[in-house]
Amino acid sequence: MLKDLGVKPYVFPMPVLLIATYGDEEKVDVMNMAWGGICAENMVALNISEDHKTTENLRKRGAFTLSIADIPHIAEADFFGIATGNKMEDKFERTGLTAVKSRKVDAPVIEEFPLTLECKVVQMGEEKSGYRVLGEIVGVLADEKVLNEKGKPDPKKLNAFVFDQMQNGYYAIGEKVGQAWQSGAPLMKK
């Protein structure tokens, strides 16, 4: 029997995404967020609060990087969601992570994260769903260790984790359980 839980944002899994921007004087800022994802072949959509330091940086610089969090850096990723750049000047420095300037956009690339999308801001503003940022993906960087023999990211090697907003947990992912566009193919013949 199904139980009515009301109106909740209960979707699982939610990605754990790290948005990196530059603030004034090339100050690196990184924010952990789950309310975002791919919305077109070369676009990402992010819903963030307007009062974040990241939002201010996005307005000023028009660029960001979006990285996938991996299990070896779960503490740093979680910290980026706990601490605010509006109140903590040394937020990035506390993690010991390394940032280098992207070659394609005016934003930092965090070297320790295995997969990073380099994005330029296409649109920002208040929407019915909250403050929305649309970004165009202009490049993708991947650590060679996470690539398969065809040069594509391998989910098992990526070692990513996802967010569960029903219980506020993080979960490892990686086990392949089917093949897209093939697992359901036998039903087409009925």
* Domains by residue range for the chain, with CATH: 14-189 (2.30.110.10)
pLDDT class for 112, splitting at 50, 70, 90? very high
pTM of the model: 0.93
CB-based contacts of 123-130 (< 8 A; 24+ apart in sequence): 124/55, 124/58, 124/59, 126/50, 129/47, 130/35, 130/47, 130/48, 130/49
Nearest partner of 85 among 27, 36, 134, judged by Cα: 27
Cα–Cα distance measured from residue 47 to residue 36, given in angstroms and rounded to the nearest whole number: 6
Distance, first Cα to last Cα, the chain: 29
Distance CA 31, CA 82 (A): 9
For residues 125 and 172, what is the distance between their CA atoms, to the nearest angstrom?
A: 33
Torsional sign, CA 104, 173, 9, 54: negative
Residue 92 phi/psi, 5-degree rounding, is -65, -45
* Strands 36-40 and 14-15, sheet pairing: unpaired
pLDDT at 47: 93
Asked whether the predicted pLDDT for residue 174 surpasses 80, the reply is no
Is 3 a residue whose pLDDT tops 90? yes
Using the predicted structure, report yes or no on whether residue 111 has a pLDDT greater than 90: yes
